Structure 1
Amino acid sequence: MNELLERRYRNVLWLLPRSYRAEREEEMVATFMEFSGDVPDEENPRPRWGEIASVLALSMRVRFGGAGAMPRYVAWGAAARLVALLGLGFHAAVGTFTLAILFPQRPDLATPPLTVITAALWVTAFVLLMRGRTPMAKPVALAAGAVALAELVVRLDLADPFAPLNAAPQALNVVVPLAALLAGFHDDVPPVRRRWRAIGLAPAAGLLLRIAIPLLLESALWQSPMLWVWVEPTGLATVVLVVAGVICLARRLSAHVPLALAILGTLALLSRLPLVAINDVSSRPESIWVSSMGQCLALVVMVTVLAVAGFRGLPSVRQGRAVV
């Protein structure tokens, strides 16, 4: 047997969880060596890129609740799927809000085409995912993310030293739900077809926001600018996350729920920080800074408590395997 190639195959298998390697490593190494043939060490043999990719894909499935995974990894898979669903739901709500604003306007050069495309793709991806059409939802969501990131790059002002601080949270709000979508919804996860009533919640929230903001702009927002921090999409998402976190802790839900809410709360916190760090009191009311700081403090407390509850509720690695 080729010792060099065998050692390299074992190094590749370190991508897999230790518990999985303990049961399958010898079998997998023997299979790889059988198909590799007899190659002497002098030829410096290495695992094929396709084999490395297959091990990496298997590692992702196992770590996010694939068939036969440990209950701990099943919980992480459920958390990733919840992050993807809620993340795409947020983008679908904002997309509906954006389309509702642009729809009455006359289409002309002033209408940003990338914004329209991104909004439509987010809504479509969310609907497909909620209806159980995951293979179709993934490329649509990736296209939406690519267009959103392209739009972010186009709007990036390199002359502004604070531009990266503003752009980084927006990019993470796109990348993290997409990563959760790809990692959590793998081939071992059966599709779940949800009702149209549940699917309509996100677009309905966007339409409601489209109706409410103009009414507030005509009255309270002019007199109390601090309200804007609470009624714009990220501000409302912050309120929803804090309320959801309180309910989750009160009901002691499964570990994947507080973990998912902690991840989303961290994204919301990063989106709020620029309002605190870059606030120019000379050009912005101090009440906006105070409101932003209050949101950040609430998110820090909630994310910390949710993360602690989630990690404590995770099943032990020593527990037996579960089937998705």
Structure 2
Amino acid sequence: MSERSGGRSERSGGRSVLEERYRRWLRLLPASYRAEREEEMVSAFMEGAQPGRIGNDDQRPRFLEIASVAALALRLRLGGPGSPPGSYLWGEAVRRAALLGLVFWTVIAGLYAGQAVLTYGIPVDALPDGVMGIGDPGSPDRMRLVLADLTPLLWVAALGALVRGRARTAKAAAIAALVVPYALVPPFTLGWESAVRWACSALPAVVTVLALAIGFHRDAPPPRLPARRALLLLVLPIAVGLLLSLVVGVLGAATRAGTISERLLIPVWMWVDTTGLACVALLAVAVWCAIRRRTPGRPVAPVALAAAILTVPVALARATTWPLGVADATRLAATLQLAVLVASGITLVVVGVRALRTADGGLTEVRGQPG
């Protein structure tokens, strides 16, 4: 056995151990793609390999090679227009998950911005006691908290960039919207349990960013809506968020005035926090998909599968932030939310899978742009 022969082994049918390892990683690729390109890719990898002390038998694929194969596999399995029907539908599901997630986080951005204005933007004398935020007016702490509440507006920038066909800008803005608030106000974690709770509470936003990053690759151009439709898609979620901020403000004022018992209001707050609002939004999408599943010419599978993808992190967020040691009404609200999420997830999966089974090749046609 010589180094030139690459350490060939009779046990592997004349293939070196390194070649077998390359072929093992190439199994990540779709079978149809491997049938056409596997030999070519293996030859290219082997030519670039550096022989070791006993040929290629003591070598392993390099990290960058593995990463390139994984990225290619992801791009092929989440195909764009012109891809096989299955790949295209799963690609559309991930892209719709990104779009739905950005719309939801735009609502949350409007909610946070409205709360920031109500909390920090009104003169101190105009607000009742206990309403003003942490930190004295003009102090660094106050500035940091105001910025943390306004930073979610980066989700608005990400959504606007995406619907105007600027995927790279959308990805950068979404990553900033995910990271910057935690940089301004680091999460308080005490032990591994609280760290897990925090990680799961951040998971819905993380999944949105991941869907945006992997769904809109170079073979899947982002949607480019007309300026008027893009503006409407931005304004409506912001308006909903601002309206929610007013509702939260009114409920808070009623509690301070003694009009509504704080004990009775706590379960209500669980439906207007991020997880509660996500639960309501996913329920609405599930109902919409169930109603539209038989509508001809309107494939509902991508939307149903997209919402199913988003349901998983929201359910984990609610399960890991389960209220312990609190009133029965609060636990009842959390239980109801989990039940709604599970029911919505099952409905979305069933609708999506059934639509996938009846999908035909016409779904691969380009209808404007994906999304």
Give TM-score, length-normalised by structure 1. Answer: 0.84
- 1:167 corresponds to which residue? 198
> Structure 1, residues 12-52: CA drift from partner, whole Å, max 9, x if none?
3122123322333233334445x538968834355454433
Task: Report the AA paired with residue 143 of structure 1.
Answer: A
> Structure 1, residues 112-154: CA drift from partner, whole Å, max 9, x if none?
26614632322222221222211111122122222245467x2
Change (3 A) 1:228 1:116: closer
* Greater helix share, structure number: 1
> Structure 1, residues 235-274: CA drift from partner, whole Å, max 9, x if none?
2221121122011012114322111111222222223224
Whether contact under 8 Å (2:109, 2:150) holds in the other structure is no
The correspondence for 2:78, drawn from 44, 55, 64, is 64
Are residue 22 (structure 1) and residue 35 (structure 2) matched? Answer: yes
Are residue 213 (structure 1) and residue 248 (structure 2) matched? Answer: yes
Whether contact under 8 Å (2:114, 2:246) holds in the other structure is no
Of 217-226 and 121-130, deviating more is 217-226
Are residue 254 (structure 1) and residue 254 (structure 2) matched? Answer: no
- 2:342 corresponds to which residue? 300
Of 178-187 and 204-213, deviating more is 204-213
Change (3 A) 1:107 1:169: farther
- 1:266 corresponds to which residue? 312
- 1:81 corresponds to which residue? 95
Aligned residues: 317
Q: Which runs of 5+ in 1 are unaligned?
A: none
Change (3 A) 1:107 1:233: farther
**How far, CA to CA, are the matches of 2:90 and 2:27 in structure 1?**
19
Whether contact under 8 Å (1:255, 1:313) holds in the other structure is yes
- The Cα of 1:172 is off from its aligned counterpart by 0.8
Q: Which runs of 5+ in 2 are unaligned?
A: 7-14, 123-136, 294-298, 367-371
The correspondence for 2:210, drawn from 164, 175, 179, is 179
Whether contact under 8 Å (1:70, 1:320) holds in the other structure is no
Whether contact under 8 Å (1:262, 1:306) holds in the other structure is yes
Of 288-297 and 222-231, deviating more is 222-231
- 1:280 corresponds to which residue? 325
Are residue 36 (structure 1) and residue 77 (structure 2) matched? Answer: no
**How far, CA to CA, are the matches of 1:295 and 1:272 in structure 2?**
8
**How far, CA to CA, are the matches of 2:286 and 2:71 in structure 1?**
32
> Structure 1, residues 39-96: CA drift from partner, whole Å, max 9, x if none?
6883435545443332222111011114653311211111111111122222222222
- 1:128 corresponds to which residue? 161
Change (3 A) 1:125 1:321: closer
- 1:99 corresponds to which residue? 113
> Structure 1, residues 190-231: CA drift from partner, whole Å, max 9, x if none?
231232111222212211111222123334883331322223
Whether contact under 8 Å (1:242, 1:298) holds in the other structure is yes
- What percentage of residue pairs aligned between the two structures are identical? 38
Q: CA RMSD in A?
A: 3.2
The correspondence for 1:8, drawn from 21, 25, 28, is 21
Whether contact under 8 Å (2:106, 2:238) holds in the other structure is yes
Give TM-score, length-normalised by structure 2. Answer: 0.74
Task: Report the AA paired with residue 156 of structure 1.
Answer: F
Whether contact under 8 Å (2:109, 2:155) holds in the other structure is yes
**How far, CA to CA, are the matches of 1:267 and 1:107 in structure 2?**
38
**How far, CA to CA, are the matches of 1:27 and 1:198 in structure 2?**
46
3-state SS in 1 of match to 2:54: helix
Whether contact under 8 Å (2:113, 2:150) holds in the other structure is no
Task: Report the AA paired with residue 203 of structure 2.
Answer: L
Change (3 A) 1:110 1:39: closer
**How far, CA to CA, are the matches of 2:242 and 2:361 in structure 1?**
46
Whether contact under 8 Å (1:81, 1:181) holds in the other structure is yes
3-state SS in 2 of match to 1:280: coil
Greater C-alpha Rg:
2
3-state SS in 2 of match to 1:222: coil
Are residue 155 (structure 1) and residue 193 (structure 2) matched? Answer: no
Of 2-11 and 189-198, deviating more is 2-11
Task: Report the AA paired with residue 285 of structure 2.
Answer: A
3-state SS in 2 of match to 1:15: coil
- 2:285 corresponds to which residue? 244
